Amino acid sequence: MDKDMLMWDETIFRDGSVLELDHLPDHFSHRETQMQSLMYSLRPALRGMRPINSLLSGPPGTGKTTTVMKVFGEMKKHSENVVFVKVNCQMDSTKFAVIARVYKALFKVSPPASGVAFRKLFEKVMNFLVENEKTLVVCLDDINYLYHEGNADDVMYSMLRAHEQFPGAKVGVIAIVSDTGKLYQFDPKVNSVFLPEEVAFPRYAYDELQDILGRRIDLAFFPNVVSDEVKDAIVGYVDMTGDLRVGIDLLKRSGLNAERRASRTISIEDVESAYENSRLLHLGRSIMSLTPDERTLLELIAKQRECQTGELYKLFHEQTGLGYTRFYDMVNKLNDARYVSTDFSGKGTRGRTRIVKPRYQPEDILKCLE
C-alpha cells in the first residue's frame, strides 16, 4: 500500500467550507481604511440621525461585499433601531425585486409575487420605518445589474427622497459598483440628491494576495498539502486577474483535482487545470443572470467578433423576431455591463452606426453560454 495515496475516506481539506464563495472570513485585513470610512458614514444612524450615503467602487473580488457585511455585523451589535439590508442586484435585478427584498427583511415574509406594484411595497416599507422609528440602511450590491431600463435611477431616487414623501423616514443608501472603468453616471435627478462618500477598493497588491490566500490555505487544508511553490503559483494566477474570488475558487478546484488523483498534496498541474475553469467563473456567473434574448444577442456578438449595429440587428431580428427598440436597449445593457464595447465607427454621417465588439475572448463567452 502506497502511503502517499489518499484513502477513499480521507481528505486533504481541514475545513472546505472556508472556500465557499459566501463564506465570511473571520480575519479580514487590508481593508481597514474602507471599513473605517463606511463606519463613519453609518454612525449617525446609531444616534437616530440619517446616515451619510456611500458609493463603494472597484473591480470584482476586491472585498467590497465583505466590507459591508463586516461593518453591518459590527454595527448590528450596537443598534436596535437600525435595520441593515443587503440586496444582491445580480439576483434581484428589477425595482420590484429590490423592494421585495427590503420588505422581506422588515416583515420576515415575502410580499405576494405578483399583483403588487413597487410603489405599494415602497409605501408599506416607509410607513413601517416611520411608525416604528427605525432607520433603514440599504446596500445595493452590484448595482450595475440594475442599470438597464432606468431601474437603478428609479430605485435610488425613490430611496433618497423617501423622507420628502414620508416625513420622518430615515434611509441611508450604500451603492456598490463593480467596475474597473469609468463609473456609470446616474440620472441628473439622482445626482442632485446623491452626494455620497466615495470609497475606493483598489486591486490587492501581490503581497496582500499572498497574505490573504496564505491564511485561507491554512484554514482550508491540512499542513503540507500546499507547498510554497504551489502557493506562489496560485498567488501568481490570482494576481493576473486581481480577483480574489477567482483565487478562492482556484484553491477549491485545485484541492478537488488532487483528491481525484488520490494525492495528499496539490501539484502545479492540479492548479493549472483548475485555473481554466476558475478564470471563467466570474464571466459564467454573470452571464447566467442575462435573459434568454440577451444571451442570444451576446452569442451573436461573440460569433461575429466585430460587427456594425445594422448587420447585428438583422441577425438578431431573424432569430428572435424582436424589434429595434428592444435590440437597442439590449446592446446598451451589454455595453453597460461591460460584456461588449460599442464605438461609433466614424464612418458615414447618418448617426447611429456603431461597431460592437466582445470585451472577452469570444471562445470564453461561447463556452460560458453553453
- Give me the least distance between CB of 178 and Mg ion, in Å please: 6
Considering CB distances under 5 to 8 angstroms, the limit depending on partner class, which of ligand ADP, Mg ion, none binds residue 172? Answer: none
- Quick check: 34 binds Mg ion (CB under 5 A)? no
For residue 175, which amino acid is it?
Answer: A
List the grid coordinates of 362.
469570444
User: How many other CB atoms are there within 10 angstroms of residue 8's CB atom?
Assistant: 7
What is the CB-side half-sphere exposure of residue 6 using CA atoms within 13 A? 20
The stretch near Mg ion (CB under 5 A) out of 62-70, 83-91, 241-249, 305-313 is: 62-70
Count of residues near ligand ADP by CB under 6 A: 20
- Residue 216 assigned as binding residue: yes
- Closer of 248 and 300 to ligand ADP (Cβ): 248
Does position 289 interact with ligand ADP (CB under 6 A)? The reply is no
Give Cα 114 to chain centroid, integer Å: 26
Minimum CB separation of residue 212 from ligand ADP in Å reads 4
Q: Does 212 engage in binding with ligand ADP (CB under 6 A)?
A: yes
Closest CA to 56 of 170, 176, 146, 140: 176
Give the sheet arrangement for strand 340-344, strand by strand. Answer: 307-308, 354-358, 340-344
Contacts of 182 (CB under 8 A, 6+ apart): none
The residue type of 148 is H
What is the CA 246 to chain-centroid distance, rounded? 13
Task: Map residues 11-50 to x or -, x wherever contact with ligand ADP holds by CB under 6 A.
Answer: ----------x-x-x--xxxx-------------------
> Residues 55 to 94: which contact ligand ADP by CB under 6 A?
60-66
> Is 328 annotated as ligand-binding?
no
Ligand-binding annotation for 215, yes or no, is: no
CA angle 56, 197, 25 (to 5 degrees): 40
Give the shortest CB-215-to-ligand ADP separation in angstroms: 7
- Residue 255 binds: one of Mg ion, ligand ADP, none (C-beta under 5 to 8 A by kind): none
Site map 241..280 versus ligand ADP, x via CB under 6 A? ---xx--x--------------------------------
Residue span binding Mg ion (CB under 5 A) among the ranges 37-45, 63-71, 221-229, 265-273: 63-71
> Helix 206-220 crosses helix 244-260 at what angle (to 10 degrees)?
40
Backbone angles phi, psi at 203, to 5 degrees: -60, 145
344 strand-pairing partners? 354
Asked whether residue 147 is marked as a ligand-binding residue, the answer is: no
Beta pairing partners, 141: 88
- From the list Mg ion, ligand ADP, none, which binds 43 (C-beta under 5 to 8 Å, kind-based)? none
Contacts of 151 (CB under 8 A, 6+ apart): 93, 94, 95, 98
Give dist(CA 313, CA 300) in Å, integer. Answer: 10
For ligand ADP, the closer of residues 238 and 365 by Cβ is: 238
- CB-CB contact of 145 with 179 (8 Å): no
Q: Work out whether 65 is an interface residue with Mg ion (CB under 5 A).
A: yes
- Whether 291 has a binding-site annotation, put simply, is no
Annotated binding site for ATP: 62-66, 204, 216
**Binding-site ranges for Mg ion (CB under 5 A):** 64-65
Positions that interact with ligand ADP (CB under 6 A): 21, 23, 25, 28-31, 60-66, 178, 201, 212, 244-245, 248
Q: Which parts are annotated binding residues?
A: 62-66, 204, 216
